Chains A and B, each alone.
Chain A
Amino acid sequence: MKRHTIFGRGALRALAAIGLAGALLLSGCGGAAQQGQADSGSGKTERQEANELTVGIAQDLDESLDPHYSVAAGTREIMFNVFEGLLKPTPDGQLAPAIAAEAPTVSEDGLTYTFKVRKGVKFHNGQEVTADDVVWSIERCWKPADADAPLVAGLAAVQEVEKVDDETVKITLSAPNNEFLACMTLAILPMDYADQATQPVGTGPYKFVSRVAQDNAVFERFEDYWGEPASIGKVTFKIMEKAESLVLGLQSGALDVVMHLSSTQTSQLSQDEFNIEQDTMKLVQALYLNNAEAPLNDVRVRQALCYAVDKQGVIDLAFDGYGSPLGSSMYPSFSKYFDESLVDYYPHDVAKAKELLKEAGYPDGFDLEITVPSNYQPHVDAATVIAEQLKEAGINATLKKVEWATWLDEVYSGRKFQATVIGLESKDMTARALLERFQSEKSGNFINYSNSEYDELYAQAIASGDDAEQTAIYKQMLQNLTENAANVYIQDLADLVAVRKGLTGLTFYPLYVLDISKLAWEQ
């Protein structure tokens, strides 16, 4: 009597299993909301009609949005639109007056800088910017209440900051300093305003409206901006930590602009919908090594790693050949300091690497754990290729993928790591910003680089008043980093930006910033 139906329980269960596997395949695809679909009539998206913009970013903002305290490049990149200093960087790498009405007058001995505060500049809270705010903001970075050293190292040269009258601020230096002016891009904030960390207030073309941790941040155009007002009314930064979510977000119409894409990602976008713009990231991507940790505390081992890694191979394999190889902590767009000859200081040479390892007492190689922040696909990809290349030299490298917060905590602050792939940028437009962190006692020296010659050179460079001499010293410092194989330098990544057709005005800076005030929808 018992008859098997075609779809018995077993078959059903098997189907359920297939379904589950299918669900696994698709579970990454749910992130992108179907908003802002092109409306067929005008060819414009809803957001374009409303003059709004959604930008996808790969990481959450810092917990504190206080510009004087934020560390992450990704946070500064977008908060650039909210804050301004006395001076402001321009796309061609110069400094233009912002809150200062004009370029400062400098005394003949190069020690006194006098700034006129621009009239009628308003903070986002409606207050007008006064000389008091300027003095207070500079002093906050110069002599922070909670630290011994200035927050911006370049301010160490400052001797006095004083208000001359309501519109004039005078800054006196203890010695002439070529890089002091670059420090004057530090954000001017309203005096004694306490909620900077959660509800930041600046003078930029956009004002901060709100943020939802791990989800988004919203900016609105600041109508009382002193300069040329921005075009787009409301900008939402959508946080999507997965590389594929960003692509899907663009494809589905949920996002209009995404910076820092890889060629793998952009190749999935339709040419009809997006323009792909190319720039360099202005990042020093390297396999950063914990110089204090055995066996990496042996210079021969570090050099062996340098010989074992084939930079061009990394660029070809993981980045479709886009990228500029580096040999030290400086990228090519800083042409003044960039030293081409360091790029090939350690040519790819596995035999040499093995020999050095043998000399150092590791004839059979060793185990190396490379910690990578899982939300940065380019770093994960580079690390994957590097791990494979190191195998040839007998080094058994494994990857440890961690969340960004864990990376900051364990690797950057805790310095508990062996090696990591990450990109370091220059906070302001100076070589110093890239080089100061490698001083032995510097708090940002997460690789524990300790080289007395380097420290000395740095002190000399800072003390030097002559630009040519200073440049020469910086170059020596770069050489020092290369010779001692402080890190395995890889490349300055190509920065591919996907911009929805119809959006114009994307401007590149020699800094890691996205200037949304210049973006506009075509009418």
Chain B
Amino acid sequence: MKKNKINGYLLAGLILFGIFLVMMIIGLFYTPYSPTAMSSAEKFQGPSAAHLFGTDNFGRDIFSRALKGGITTFGIALATIAIGAAAGTLIGAVTGYFGGIVDDVLMRLNDALTAFPSFLLALVIISIVGPGKKYNVILALGIVFIPSFARVMRTAFASLRDVNYITSAKLMGAGSPRILFVHMLPNTVHTLLPALTIGFNNAVLAEASMSFLGIGVTPPDASLGYMLSEAQSMFGRAPWYALCTGMMIVLLVFGVGLIGEGLQRQSREVA
């Protein structure tokens, strides 16, 4: 009856995420100042009309940096989750559908990957491929995110294996790839979507923590996490730096989190 009504969570999430997205799109084409331009005359200025988020220790405009940093962070999170979800779904589909020895081997490998604390695993991967490059961070985080997706998707595919329409499809002679990706995949969306939103948020926070610890992106590139790590060294003198950067992260994570929750509720209500 309330089939197409957008619930409050989804709406709030879309608004927050929308704000972030609009800022990113603007940031792609325009920033008030160059994000790396320094000025000794404008060091450590608090938020003002000229500098919405104030300036940092080099007199750089934090708002401009936050726009660019937001794009970096968003991009890394998106790419990370793409790797994690694609590989995870593939593994989940194969293991969940075929079962047996394939399932055992792949899932045990998956468990082995889970056995490492995710952060440590990312660190190891980074130290192998070398730090400081954006795509290395993406690769490391992407690999770290595979196991959780694989596990969730395996359950979704396994639960569909024996339903009637799949059995009919088999009887009609459909091949395994077709069954997996044409018939089953669309029906796992209600599992995949929330996993994607939660995963996305974890990726944002993971990138932030990695850059915060100095193993993520390197200057002069900015990411929200890297900016946060810079901000902490001047927290006493420029608290607005940490607060504004932190707020950007909250905006993104909160927004996407609410969207995820909203979608989940909606599918529950429909069902």
Contact = CB atoms under 8 A, between A and B. Distances in A.
Q: Do A and B bind each other?
A: yes
A17 B38 contact: no
B214 interface: yes
Contacts of A318: 57-58
Contacts of A317: 38, 40, 43, 58-59
B39 to A, nearest CB: 8
Interface in B202-244: 205, 208-209, 212, 214, 218-221, 225, 228-229, 232-237, 242
Contacts of B260: 10
B246 A21 contact: yes
A251 B54 CA distance: 25
A388 interface: yes
A9 B212 CA distance: 28
Interface string B42-60: 0100000000000001110
A316 interface: yes
Which of B201, B232, B257, B262 is most buried by chain A, counting CB atoms within 10 A of its CB? Answer: B232
Interface residues of A, number: 43
A401 B214 contact: yes
Given A21-B246, A24-B228, A244-B233, A387 B258 contact: no
B74 to A, nearest CB: 15
Interface in B118-151: 131-132
Contacts of B237: 264, 267-268
Nearest to B261: A10
A399 B219 contact: yes
B246 A22 contact: yes
A384 B35 CA distance: 13
Nearest to A403: B214
B191 interface: no
Nearest to A377: B233
A398 interface: yes
A17 B254 contact: yes
A21 B253 contact: yes
Nearest to A402: B131
Nearest to B264: A10
A437 B195 CA distance: 58
A14 B246 contact: no
Interface in A392-419: 397-401
A391 B37 CA distance: 10
Contacts of B221: 398
Which of A13, A267, A374, A399 is most buried by chain B, counting CB atoms within 10 A of its CB? Answer: A13
Contacts of A4: 8
Chain B at the A interface: mostly helix, strand, loop or mixed? Answer: helix
A267 B43 CA distance: 13
A401 B38 CA distance: 20
B232 A28 contact: yes
B105 interface: no
A318 B236 CA distance: 17
A25 B232 contact: yes
Given A17-B254, A24-B208, A398-B132, A388 B36 contact: yes
A398 B246 contact: no
B57 A264 contact: yes
B119 to A, nearest CB: 13
B201 A17 contact: yes
Interface string A374-387: 10010001001101
Which of A10, A377, A401 is most buried by chain B, counting CB atoms within 10 A of its CB? Answer: A10
Given A10-B257, A25-B242, A244 B235 contact: yes
Interface in A1-29: 4, 8-10, 13-14, 17-18, 20-22, 24-25, 27-29
B25 interface: no
A141 interface: no
Given A268-B236, A317-B40, A377-B233, A17 B257 contact: yes
A24 B228 CA distance: 8
B189 interface: no
A170 B217 CA distance: 59
A17 B253 contact: yes
Contact of B261 (A9, A381, A384, A399): A9
Nearest to A242: B233
B180 interface: no
A313 interface: yes
Contacts of A398: 132, 218-221
Contacts of A387: 219-220
Contacts of B250: 17-18, 21
Contacts of A25: 228, 232, 242, 246
Interface of B: 8-9, 36-38, 40, 43, 57-59, 131-132, 201, 205, 208-209, 212, 214, 218-221, 225, 228-229, 232-237, 242, 246, 249-250, 253-254, 257-258, 260-262, 265
17 contacts: A10-B258, A10-B262, A14-B258, A14-B261, A20-B205, A21-B249, A22-B246, A24-B205, A24-B209, A316-B40, A317-B38, A317-B40, A374-B214, A384-B220, A398-B219, A400-B131, A400-B218
- What 7 pairs between A and B have smallest CB-CB spacing? A10-B261, A268-B236, A316-B40, A244-B233, A28-B232, A17-B253, A399-B219
Interface of A: 4, 8-10, 13-14, 17-18, 20-22, 24-25, 27-29, 242-244, 247, 251, 264, 267-268, 313, 316-318, 320-321, 374, 377, 381, 384-385, 387-388, 391, 397-401
